[in-house]
A and B are shown apart, each in its own frame.
Chain A
């Protein structure tokens, strides 16, 4: 059973990455923080007595479910509003996520004069590319490589087969490589 200190250490260790994961998915700071908080609460309430080694996978399952719930609620809201906006007509086109990258000025990291600036720009480009990945690809990539889950654990957290995890990870890596190369960053 995880003691209070162990649970605290675990949450402190994962909370920043969890927040970033949620932020990549929902693109809103407040919503991302809400998702992380709900996930922490759920973990503490329902699985607080579980052994420490089981916490990472449990937390990731809860977090991914919370993100999917957010998508579902957002989709329901947007369907409601679409039916009303059809009468108004002439509205602005919804923003294309890829447009964000296209609108950015060209950044050549090798020409940047200052290392810190280079790092900040690289980080910004990588995070934007991550945001623009299809949700399942991003989920697989982050769980597998950032959270360090193995393929079976990633499949369990995502509720899919191990084959799907491999496919999602591979596609995500290629999509990211292409997006970064377009910005002048090569692996």
Chain B
């Protein structure tokens, strides 16, 4: 340790004593300031919230620091996609059922739609020239 550094360390020991001997009023205000700062840390601590009956998870804060929350959010997203796919499948089945019922209940047999001659006759009937 150089002479300069040694002198600096001596001075710092004196300064340490000065910092130890602060007035009670000052130390109390410092303590209060510390408490306020800590409360601020708690208020701004990242949290996730459950929104609505669906239970969608919203990410909060830095996701790199919260792998569990990230995993949870991804899981919820996948669950949502799966539910949406299932729901769309159900709707499509309902529509197909209606069409099938209409075809079977119709006077015209379903095989007629496969007959090219019948298709040509329909188009001829629909066109204005055919009337």
Contact = CB atoms under 8 A, between A and B. Distances in A.
B22 A7 contact: no
A7 B42 CA distance: 11
Interface of B: 3-12, 14-15, 17-22, 26-27, 29-30, 33-34, 36-38, 40-42, 44-46, 61-62, 65
Majority secondary structure, B binding face: helix
A41 to B, nearest CB: 5
Contacts of B9: 145
Contacts of B27: 16
A17 B30 CA distance: 11
A173 B41 CA distance: 38
Majority secondary structure, A binding face: helix
13 contacts: A1-B65, A4-B38, A4-B42, A15-B30, A20-B18, A45-B40, A45-B41, A48-B40, A48-B45, A127-B18, A144-B8, A145-B9, A169-B8
Contact of B26 (A11, A33, A169): A33
A33 B18 contact: no
Given A4-B38, A41-B33, A44-B37, 13 more contacts: A4-B42, A15-B34, A17-B15, A17-B19, A19-B26, A20-B19, A49-B61, A119-B17, A123-B17, A123-B18, A123-B21, A177-B7, A187-B7
A45 B46 CA distance: 11
A150 to B, nearest CB: 12
A13 to B, nearest CB: 10
